[in-house]
Amino acid sequence: MTRVRPTWPDLPAHVRKAVVARLGGPVTSWTSHDGGFSPGWALTLESPAGRAFVKVASTDHAEAARLHRAEAVRSAALPDGVPAPAFRWAEEVADPGEAEPSWVLVASDVVDGRAPRGEPWDLGDLDRLQRLARRIAEHEVPAGGAFPDAADLSWPEAALLADQRPAGLATYDPWLAAHVDVLAEVASAARQREALAGPHLVHNDLRADNALVVRSPDGGEEAVAVDWPHARRGPAFVDQVAMLPVVRATGGPAPQEVLERTPLPAGTDAEAVTVWVAVLTAYFVRSSLLEAPPGIPHLRAFQRIQAEACIPWLRSRLG
């Protein structure tokens, strides 16, 4: 995640004017936050009215603009008490002489914290991320609201791998190609609907780069989650499990070891977890074999290392 982002002076003047109007005063200083995968601006801005964290995407990058719009809706709907920065405002700005929006802006409170220590992994920070996942899942959200039901959003990758047998499968552990039909069965649409049903808030993209470590009320440290465009409604175990492939891929403990330190919520269905691990495996494998999306050239390599971490985990769960 080495993206170098554009900075405040790189924004067109009319977009900067719209931001200043929202802030209630001129920008007196700014910090640009590099890293991540989506193209665009990620800025902490200071003004006489205070500070705000502002993300900006051009609609030339359609996917980035879509994600900013989704984040605005879902951040605004987060229940009270969710460990996340408070949503401030969102706006869409057109270029001069144009009717359609050209820029999507989303603002939230500034979180003063540090990045979790992930390479090499600090086990204390890893525990904080796992506890963060559990804290998020303690919140329930209503059906039919801002958060789509995870059970209604079928992941097709396992079925596609079984149907298409892409040549790139041969670049992975031979076990995978030999068991791709089993993968498709375990991660079938019907089993996904059953495994991923639930009323709990799910961040759905919780990793070290989407969290910050901050001071807790007791004087210690805790983690808060940022970047909410993918948030869903589902079972309580989803975020805890989904972060484990990247933890392992970046030198951290194996998934089983992490879950011994921070167990999944009481009552978690082990078979549902296996279905979710199969879904993640298929997603990362197939995605890693596709062409890189525009503006995000390093995404496929990131998916590849997670796929390679998922396969032995799935293999052990399937016996």
307 occurs within a structural domain: yes
Give the pLDDT confidence of 146-189 residue by residue, as tens digits.
999 999 999 999 999 999 999 999 999 999 999 999 999 999 99
Question: Which residues are CB-contacts of 253 (< 8 A; sequence separation ≥ 6)?
Answer: 121, 123, 126, 247, 261
Question: Which residues are CB-contacts of 235 (< 8 A; sequence separation ≥ 6)?
Answer: 150, 195, 196, 197, 198, 200, 202, 268, 269, 272
The reply to whether 197 and 307 lie within a common domain is yes
Tokens of 233: 């409604």
Looking at 39-48, 262-271, 280-289, 292-301, which range is the least confident one? Answer: 292-301
The reply to whether 134 and 252 lie within a common domain is yes
- The CATH number assigned to the domain holding 150 equals 3.90.1200
The reply to whether 279 and 244 lie within a common domain is yes
Give yes or no for a contact between 119 and 250, defined as CB atoms under 8 angstroms apart: yes
User: What pLDDT does 59 receive?
Assistant: 96
The reply to whether 300 and 164 lie within a common domain is yes
The reply to whether 140 and 170 lie within a common domain is yes
114 occurs within a structural domain: no
The reply to whether 98 and 149 lie within a common domain is no
* Domain final position from 62, 82, 108: 108
Domains in the chain, number: 2
The reply to whether 291 and 182 lie within a common domain is yes
The reply to whether 249 and 131 lie within a common domain is yes
Expressed as residue numbers, the domain containing 275 is: 123-318
- The CATH number assigned to the domain holding 102 equals 3.30.200.20
The reply to whether 287 and 153 lie within a common domain is yes
91: how many CB neighbours lie within 10 A of its CB? 18
Angle at 94 between CA 88 and CA 98, to 5 degrees: 165
Closest CA to 141 of 267, 225, 207, 235: 235
77: how many CB neighbours lie within 10 A of its CB? 16
- For the whole model, what pTM was predicted? 0.93
Give the pLDDT confidence of 202-212 residue by residue, as tens digits.
999 999 999 99
